[in-house]
């Protein structure tokens, strides 16, 4: 099976490798296509996002490399769009919608962080109540569907990235599951495609991809489509956890994953 990965980061944002290094590595490791998804500029997170000028260079370099390697691999230009970042959305083949920062009043509070920092956010902003934190998260992530241009829901349950290390992030709580499934059902109607994202496995946070298997199973019943990605920040992790994730996706009832091919998402049997 030839792989595709639409969620990848380069030195234009917080990735380790250049666009070209990623493309060459992908060609040599079983990929027939790759899409880049640089982080949209966020004034509240300048270190991990593309600059405004850098975004224009990124788009043109992706297009130049796509034509340079056109006879060997398909290269797509995408964007990982933060919910609250207001950027120009022209010139992309696809957009992954993502949510990494609560907007609380005029403050942006990140939760894509290490366990102690996430616990600090829960303690100081949500009175120590995991369910209040989860309620805020899922009430906002559905707004990705209101933007109108988002093709793929990125790492749907990022809020529990540290669930293996933090007992307070208890994903078995019925109220937690209700918040998650209500949001998943709404986004199934408004966006329709979710990624199964292995990024936290590569970075040692989780043993399973996003989203949790109970959510993947529900996505099947909601009629959602899945893509497989690794949220790659280091070319060596381009296919991290892909084989195991395909088995997991199958065990949740899916018989195919979806791929981008010349502007259309098409099914690929698994
Ligand atoms: Zn992300
Ligand atoms: Zn990402």
- pLDDT per residue as tens, the chain (270 positions): 899 999 999 999 999 999 999 999 999 999 999 999 999 999 999 889 999 999 999 999 999 999 999 999 999 999 999 999 989 999 999 999 999 999 999 999 999 999 999 999 999 999 999 999 999 999 999 999 999 999 999 999 999 999 999 999 999 999 999 999 999 999 999 999 999 999 999 888 999 999 999 999 999 999 999 999 999 999 999 999 999 999 999 999 999 999 999 899 999 999
| Beta-carbon count within 10 A of 116 CB | 10
Under DSSP, the state recorded for 237 is G
User: In Å, how far from its chain's centre is CA 143?
Assistant: 15
Q: What is the pLDDT of residue 257?
A: 98
CA of 98 to the centre of ligand 1 (A): 6
CA of 218 to the centre of ligand 1 (A): 22
Helix axes 130-141, 115-125, angle to 10 degrees: 90
State the Cα–Cα distance between residues 253 and 265, nearest whole angstrom: 20
Q: What is the pLDDT of residue 33?
A: 98
Of all ligands present, the nearest one to the C-alpha of 155 is 1
The CATH classification number of 3-269 equals: 3.20.20.140
- The answer to whether 169 and 123 have CB atoms below 8 angstroms apart is no
Q: What is the pLDDT of residue 1?
A: 85
CA of 9 to the centre of ligand 2 (A): 6
Q: What is the pLDDT of residue 32?
A: 97
CA of 165 to the centre of ligand 1 (A): 20
CA of 269 to the centre of ligand 1 (A): 27
Beta-carbon-side half-sphere exposure of residue 201 (alpha carbons within 13 Å): 21
Of all ligands present, the nearest one to the C-alpha of 14 is 2
CA of 88 to the centre of ligand 2 (A): 18
CA of 171 to the centre of ligand 2 (A): 22
Q: What is the pLDDT of residue 108?
A: 96
State the Cα–Cα distance between residues 130 and 203, nearest whole angstrom: 23
Q: What is the pLDDT of residue 86?
A: 87
Q: What is the pLDDT of residue 39?
A: 98
**Does this model's pTM top 0.95?**
yes
Domain boundaries, the chain: 3-269
Beta-carbon-side half-sphere exposure of residue 129 (alpha carbons within 13 Å): 9
């Amino acid at each position: 099976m030839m792989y595709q990965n639409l969620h990848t980061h380069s030195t234009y944002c917080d990735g380790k490798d250049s666009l070209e290094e990623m493309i060459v590595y992908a060609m040599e490791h079983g990929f027939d296509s790759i899409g880049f998804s640089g982080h949209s500029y966020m004034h509240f997170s300048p270190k991990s996002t593309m600059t405004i000028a850098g975004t224009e260079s990124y788009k043109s370099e992706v297009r130049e490399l796509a034509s340079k390697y056109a006879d060997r691999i398909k290269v797509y230009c995408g964007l990982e769009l933060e919910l609250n970042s207001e950027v120009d959305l022209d010139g992309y083949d696809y957009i992954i919608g993502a949510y990494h920062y609560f907007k609380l009043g005029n403050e942006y509070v990140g939760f894509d962080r290490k366990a102690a920092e996430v616990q600090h956010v829960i303690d100081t902003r949500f009175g120590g109540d995991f369910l209040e934190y989860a309620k805020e998260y899922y009430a906002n992530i559905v707004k990705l569907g209101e933007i109108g241009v988002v093709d793929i829901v990125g790492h749907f349950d990022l809020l529990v990235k540290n669930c293996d290390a933090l007992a307070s992030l208890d994903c078995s709580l019925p109220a937690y599951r209700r918040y998650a499934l209500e949001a998943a059902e709404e986004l199934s109607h408004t966006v329709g495609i979710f990624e199964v994202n292995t990024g936290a496995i590569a970075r040692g946070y989780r043993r399973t991809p996003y989203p949790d298997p109970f959510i993947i199973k529900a996505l099947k019943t909601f009629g959602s489509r899945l893509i497989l990605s690794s949220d790659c920040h280091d070319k060596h992790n381009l296919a991290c956890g892909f084989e195991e994730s395909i088995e997991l996706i199958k065990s949740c009832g899916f018989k195919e994953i979806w791929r981008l091919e010349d502007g259309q998402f098409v099914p690929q049997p698994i």
